[in-house]
Amino acid sequence: MDAILNQIPIGLAIGAVLLLAALGLNFTFGQMGVINMAHGEFMMVGAYTAFVMHAWFELNPDYALVLAIPAAFVLTGLLGLALEVSVIRRFYGRPLDTLLLTFGIGLVLQQIARDIFGAPNVDVPAPVWLAGGVDVLGIRLHFARLFILALAVLCVIAIAYYLNRSKPGRQMRAVLHNRDLAAVTGIATRRIDATTFFLGSGLAGIAGVALTLIGPTGPTLGHNYIVDAFLVVVVGGLGQLRGTILAALALGLLNAFAEFWTDASLAKVLVFVAIIGFLQARPQGMFTVRSRALT
């Protein structure tokens, strides 16, 4: 029984990483119709940022991870912004083209990572203050997993505040609900698109830093999570913060329990079957966006 209960914090930690990754995907896909297959590589860049902090700058692991979080957010945000302005902007409204384009960009980023860091995976040492854990009601809570959960909660609070309390956030929601109507009211939709891409890519970088606490870092790190992140977006509903949160945690728990009872490959199959069954009942996802569009 204890072994089963211990899958809960594991699933919640996986769900927290998926949540950070899916938030950015949800914004870019829901607002601009961009299927960003390079989003996983943005996570990889974030993970390597944490590695560089330790291996190249030789910072103490006790605070290198904390410094890596804002550094990864800014670095991957600027990378995403550069790609949006230079290439992706020209393919808005063409989702299949953006899928192929960003898939190619992702492969290029993977190869650049291999050229710089090599093909083998590298380890990023966790801070000493994240070693160990506590037992609560027979459940082992590792400090590293609690840190990932806390990081996701802080990011969600910051995103919710940005969307609901700040002027750029409210403009972003307006563009997400109805781009044409937002443009008519004077909102610079192109600027909002660039800001959204920066924000979404930055969140992927933070997810990458969190992944260094779960496993090794390699050029294909993000590739292993991109499909699950897209599933979270589909199940949670486009543009829905609460739907993304619930879907990410549910998918993380489902993955953890399925892998406990079977193996990783069969667990993926079971998760896909469960999601297909859910989408048959609710093809619009958990929640839908109320739009003023006539169609």
Mapped onto helix, strand or coil, the DSSP state of residue 141 is strand
Does 84 have pLDDT greater than 80?
yes
pLDDT tier at 295, thresholds 50, 70, 90: very low
pLDDT of residue 290: 58
Q: How many residues comprise the chain?
A: 295
List phi, psi (to 5°) of 130.
Answer: -105, 5
> Is 197 contained in some domain?
yes
The amino acid at 211: L
> Is 94 contained in some domain?
yes
pLDDT tier at 76, thresholds 50, 70, 90: very high
- For the segment 128-144, the average pLDDT, to the nearest whole number, is 84
> Is 13 contained in some domain?
yes
| Domain count across the chain | 1
> Is 195 contained in some domain?
yes
- For the segment 26-38, the average pLDDT, to the nearest whole number, is 81
Does 292 have pLDDT greater than 60?
no
* Of 31 and 163, the one with more pLDDT: 163
> Is 287 contained in some domain?
no
E-strand stretches of the chain? 133-136, 139-142
Lowest-pLDDT range of 12-21, 107-116, 278-287: 278-287
Domain that holds residue 38: 1-281
Does 247 have pLDDT greater than 60?
yes
The whole-angstrom separation of Cα 248 and Cα 185 is 34
- For the segment 141-163, the average pLDDT, to the nearest whole number, is 91
> Which percentage of the chain shows pLDDT scores above 70?
95
- pLDDT tens, residue by residue, 171-222: 888 888 888 888 888 888 888 889 988 999 999 999 999 999 988 899 988 8
E-strand stretches of 70-129? none
And the tokens for 128?
A: 């000493």
Does 1 have pLDDT greater than 80?
no
> Is 159 contained in some domain?
yes
Burial (CB < 10 A; 0-12, 13-18, 19+), residue 125, is middle
Q: What is the residue-averaged pLDDT of the chain?
A: 86
Does 115 have pLDDT greater than 50?
yes
> Is 294 contained in some domain?
no
CATH code where residue 179 lies? 1.10.3470
The Cβ-side half-sphere exposure at 124, using a 13 Å CA radius, reads: 33
Helix axes 143-165, 167-177, angle to 10 degrees: 80
> Is 162 contained in some domain?
yes
pLDDT of residue 205: 93
pLDDT of residue 52: 94
Lowest-pLDDT range of 186-195, 221-230, 283-292: 283-292
pLDDT of residue 294: 43
